[in-house]
Amino acid sequence: MQLLIDAGNSRIKWAWSDAGRPGAVSAVDLATFDVATLAHAWQVATAAHYTCVAGDAVDAAIRRALPSGCAAHRVFAGPSACGIANLYDQPARLGADRWAALIGARALHAGPLVVATAGTATTIDALDADDRFIGGYILPGLRLMLESLARHTADLPHAAGHAADWPRNTDDAIHNACTDAQAALIERIGEQLGPQATVLLSGGAASAIAPRLRCAHQRVDDLVLHGLARLAAADKGPDVMKCGPERDAAHEAL
């Protein structure tokens, strides 16, 4: 059976490929997972395609958890894959999760796309109508923004505010400033890409950011897993993926 694994900065998510698409998604927190739990969940895997931006220890844990004889393919970004061209200055330095999410987004939607993933970091990437990744942005995720204010100021709290057009308390002032900053950048990139662009929003903070967006958008979760399913189906060359534990430090980038 074909296993798809997205090891992010906070969680490991996985699904079984079902007719070239991810099935039901399971997840564990990086802070609490153990190899035995993963090994039990993955015991019938015959092949696995995965991204890992969580470092060497998590990568090693994933490989230990996969059953003996399972063909493990760790995905990295390359110059092209699945018909998509990577215009990053150094294509290999594009984070594997961002690359897989772009491939997954194209599998689901045609035309120019803004792919915004609001996780530990928020990444906002642009895919044009000619299937070219033309560039993107990385900023601290919503939680990191909120924690940074609380950590580095004497009087500001860990804000638990609510959406408001005119915040009238400190928690709401912080919460709305941080969510609106994320939403505004997503809107700006959509404007740069043009009126035909579709905005896709995913990630754990998407539910907080979505109400603040003033542009049309669609909520689509697990884009990395959708991309991995498409990559697994293609699996035609080293520009798509590398096999084995070897890796370059550049691939740790988001």
Predicted confidence band at 152 (pLDDT cuts at 50, 70, 90)?
low
Residue 230 located in a structural domain: yes
Which CATH number does the domain housing residue 16 bear? 3.30.420
Residue 86 located in a structural domain: no
Average pLDDT over the chain reads 89
- Give the residue carrying structure tokens 């500001």: 156
Quick check: is 128 catalytic? no
Task: Return the pLDDT at 229.
Answer: 96
Q: Give the mean pLDDT of 231-237.
A: 77
- Give the residue carrying structure tokens 């599998």: 107
Q: Are residues 119 and 21 in the same domain?
A: no
Range of weakest confidence among 203-212, 215-224, 238-247:
238-247
Q: Are residues 132 and 44 in the same domain?
A: no
Q: Are residues 200 and 121 in the same domain?
A: yes
Give the residue with greater pLDDT, 242 vs 50.
Answer: 50
End-to-end CA distance of the chain: 29
Q: Are residues 136 and 218 in the same domain?
A: yes
Give the residue with greater pLDDT, 102 vs 157.
Answer: 102
Task: Return the pLDDT at 236.
Answer: 53
Q: Are residues 203 and 218 in the same domain?
A: yes
Q: Give the mean pLDDT of 101-107.
A: 97
Q: Are residues 159 and 238 in the same domain?
A: no
Q: Out of 6, 59, 97, 222, which one is annotated catalytic?
A: 97
Q: Are residues 213 and 173 in the same domain?
A: yes
Domain count, the chain: 2
Q: Are residues 70 and 154 in the same domain?
A: no
pLDDT for 133 beyond 90 = yes
Q: Are residues 240 and 198 in the same domain?
A: no
pLDDT in tens, 158-202: 657 777 889 998 888 888 999 999 999 999 999 999 999 999 999
Residue 85 located in a structural domain: no
pLDDT for 241 beyond 80 = no
Q: Give the mean pLDDT of 43-60.
A: 96
- Domain range enclosing 165: 110-223
Residue 28: other Cβ atoms inside 10 A: 15
Residue 82 located in a structural domain: no
**φ and ψ at 54, to 5 degrees?**
-100, 5
Which CATH number does the domain housing residue 190 bear? 3.30.420.40
- H/E run at residue 40: helix 35-41
What is residue 64's three-state secondary structure?
A: helix
Range of weakest confidence among 80-84, 119-123, 158-162, 189-193:
158-162
